[in-house]
Chains A and B, each alone.
Chain A
Amino acid sequence: EPEVTQTPSHQVTQMGQEVILRCVPISNHLYFYWYRQILGQKVEFLVSFYNNEISEKSEIFDDQFSVERPDGSNFTLKIRSTKLEDSAMYFCAAKDRPNEQFFGPGTRLTVL
């Protein structure tokens, strides 16, 4: 089965600090996504990315969040000034076509 990898597996940061979460999608996949899951809650869509630009974003994905694919392989999610409520598991997903999205193992973000 295709594999999406994510680093780090766990990130601890102080409130107000910037964090960058990294994902290496499957090489031939074209569509990339970030989702998050607050402990005990459902998986929520944050943003989708195709052809080097955002194709859709949710209400959660405000100005504090940004995504980019700086080198054609890594796909990153940046949170500029973290808040306590940003503590969650963050999952990267990728797909080719038709619609099967494959998820990475996640990064657990803890904001203190």
Chain B
Amino acid sequence: QKEVEQDPGPLSVPEGAIVSLNCTYSNSAFQYFMWYRQYSRKGPELLMYTYSSGNKEDGRFTAQVDKSSKYISLFIRDSQPSDSATYLCAIGGTASKLTFGTGTRLQVTL
């Protein structure tokens, strides 16, 4: 079983839609959870960071963590064409390295 699983997409939505991106993980020792956005051939850009179960909101973005189900989500409200990118979940444990999902490619169309 992979440590972190993420649907690679691609996911295509119309402008203004609510987007839901998800990851599952297998290791209950994972303690903190991040979402990065990556444009083609660029570095990952940190969007959200959380370490507890529940929701964390920042503007149009909401990160959700359910540790009992080992499931994390990122919601994007009122999606814009500029949100078109690959979204990476990344999870860390007691060691500080991050384990990444494969990334979900999102396309927001006009």
Residues of A within 8 A of B (CB): 1, 4, 6, 31, 33, 35, 41-45, 48, 55-56, 58, 89, 91, 95, 98-106, 108
Contacts and interface: CB of A to CB of B under 8 A. Distances in A.
Contact of B46 (A33, A100, A105): A100
A45 B100 CA distance: 9
Contacts of A42: 88, 100-103
B100 A43 contact: yes
Contact of B96 (A6, A35, A91, A95): A95
B96 A48 contact: yes
Nearest to A105: B43
Identify the interface centre among A42, A98, A100, A105: most chain B CB within 10 Å of its CB.
A42
Contacts of A31: 96
Interface stretch (B34-42, B56-64, B65-73, B76-84): B34-42
A103 to B, nearest CB: 4
Contacts of B14: none
Identify the interface centre among B41, B43, B51, B100: most chain A CB within 10 Å of its CB.
B43
Given A99-B32, A102-B46, A45 B99 contact: yes
Interface string B81-94: 00000001010100
B43 A99 contact: no
Contacts of A100: 34, 46, 49
B42 A105 contact: yes
A52 B63 CA distance: 34
A99 B100 contact: no
B61 to A, nearest CB: 15
Nearest to B45: A103
Nearest to A58: B97
8 interchain residue pairs of minimum CB distance? A103-B43, A45-B97, A43-B100, A105-B43, A42-B102, A103-B44, A99-B32, A106-B43
